[in-house]
């Protein structure tokens, strides 16, 4: 087990929220076609409120803080929030489109000691990327932002959400990330809107394309090992938590709502009404999430993929039952190994004909999920120290 894996296991055992993802705003200067957010401002937390929440997170034991949005840099107090987070000694990662990043902003982020900037890039071709973001010139400005971040000495991760419209460009985006000195992650995550609208799932790629993705050695390393049939399931797998969401990580919205994860929209409290630690320790919803072990799952507990599946309980919840299967992850496990899941067999399926899955390829789980997560490529070289 990796050092981070051991740390997560200890955090779960001790009930410590190791990682917190905080969206500072849902406002954005882009309107990405796959985005699950409503971009209207319905009363964001003030700087004073966010500062207080960060202090509560520090007291609760959070080490890793993800600041995101929307576009977090749209907040006029963004750098003050980062400075407050760093003063509390959080390891800070910022998710951004980098459209607002230039030399001064990049240097300030470096001076504040931000650990990493994750930047969304959808294509190396402006006509494709800008069509996804619906912001003319966004690819050019994003690349300029990445160059400024790298010149300032910041680590950059390029995140590429793959959809029907941009799937053909993933290798070129990976090459561009390498040229920029950034890491690269390929992520076919398309999740339902937070209001429950599932029409956005029409953007997802077909399962056959996922199979091809798993055969790409530049993305997965050794396809033969990556796609091998799952090993026998043992007691450790049956006694494991299904996911770190609600166990060692959580999500807080711009309005103070607390959820197990950004992909698990189960309302569990609000920091405007309660102290974070009270919510973390006593929320009935979080306690229910924590009570579940993989061996308790009615369908998945009998599945050959139990120990290696990236089943997302949030996606299962959006399908109607947090203890049920995530058909998206069943599909992924099948196309990775060729072995049908227990959910598939229960439905009389030994393969996934086009369009047969309830949700199709809805998502890869977020970083920190047990099992196989994002497919990542490290940079071939660093263009700035």
pLDDT band at 93 (very low <50, low <70, confident <90, very high): very high
pLDDT digits over 357-371, tens only? 433 333 333 333 322
The fraction of the chain above a pLDDT of 70, given in percent, is: 91
pLDDT digits over 194-224, tens only? 777 888 889 988 877 888 888 888 778 899 9
Mean per-residue pLDDT, 174-178: 96
pLDDT: is 186 or 247 the higher one? 247
Range picked from 3-12, 129-138, 182-191 for highest mean pLDDT: 129-138
pTM value? 0.89
pLDDT at 218: 78
Any idea which of 80-94, 209-223, 279-293, 306-320 has the lowest mean pLDDT?
209-223
CA geometry: angle at 321 spanning 319 and 324, to 5°?
95
CA geometry: angle at 73 spanning 259 and 144, to 5°?
125
> Which 3 state secondary structure label does DSSP give 120?
strand
pLDDT: is 119 or 353 the higher one? 119
For 278, counting Cβ atoms within 10 Å of its Cβ (0-12 exposed, 13-18 middle, 19+ buried), the class is: middle
pLDDT digits over 29-78, tens only? 999 999 988 888 899 999 999 999 999 999 999 999 999 999 999 999 99
Nearest-angstrom CA–CA distance, 182 and 380: 9
CB-CB contact of 176 with 186 (8 Å): no
């Amino acid at each position: 087990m990796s050092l981070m894996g051991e740390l997560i296991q200890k955090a779960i055992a001790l009930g410590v929220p190791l990682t917190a993802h905080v969206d500072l705003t849902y406002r954005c200067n882009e309107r990405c076609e796959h985005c699950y957010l409503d971009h209207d401002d319905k009363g964001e937390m003030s700087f004073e409120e966010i500062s207080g929440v960060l202090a509560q997170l520090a007291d609760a034991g959070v080490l890793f803080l993800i600041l995101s949005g929307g576009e977090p840099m749209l907040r006029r107090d963004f750098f003050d929030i980062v400075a407050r987070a760093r003063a509390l000694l959080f390891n800070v990662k910022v998710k951004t489109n980098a459209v607002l990043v230039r030399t001064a902003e990049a240097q300030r982020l470096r001076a504040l000691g931000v650990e990493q900037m994750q930047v969304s890039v959808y294509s190396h071709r402006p006509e494709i990327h800008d069509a996804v973001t619906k912001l003319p010139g966004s690819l050019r400005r994003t690349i300029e932002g990445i160059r400024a971040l790298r010149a300032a000495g910041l680590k950059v991760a390029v995140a590429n959400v793959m959809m029907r419209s941009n799937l053909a460009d993933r290798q070129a985006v990976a090459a561009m990330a390498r040229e920029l000195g950034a890491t690269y992650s390929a992520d076919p995550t398309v999740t339902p809107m937070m209001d429950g609208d599932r029409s956005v799932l029409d953007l997802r790629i077909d399962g056959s394309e996922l199979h091809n993705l798993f055969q790409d050695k530049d993305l997965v390393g050794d396809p033969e090992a990556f796609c091998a049939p799952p090993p026998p399931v043992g007691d450790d797998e049956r006694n494991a938590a299904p996911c770190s969401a609600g166990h060692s990580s959580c999500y807080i919205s711009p309005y103070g709502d607390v959820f197990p994860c950004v992909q698990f929209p189960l309302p569990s409290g609000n920091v405007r009404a309660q102290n974070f630690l009270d919510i973390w320790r006593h929320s009935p919803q979080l306690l229910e999430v924590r009570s579940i072990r993989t061996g308790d799952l009615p369908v998945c507990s009998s599945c050959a993929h139990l120990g290696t599946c990236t089943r997302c309980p949030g996606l299962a919840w959006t399908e109607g039952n947090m203890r049920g299967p995530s058909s998206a992850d069943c599909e992924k496990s099948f196309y990775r190994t060729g072995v049908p899941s227990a959910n598939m067999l229960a439905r009389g399926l030994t393969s996934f004909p086009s369009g047969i899955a309830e949700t199709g390829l809805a998502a890869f789980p977020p970083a920190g999920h047990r099992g196989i997560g994002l497919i990542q490529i490290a940079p071939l070289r660093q263009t700035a120290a």
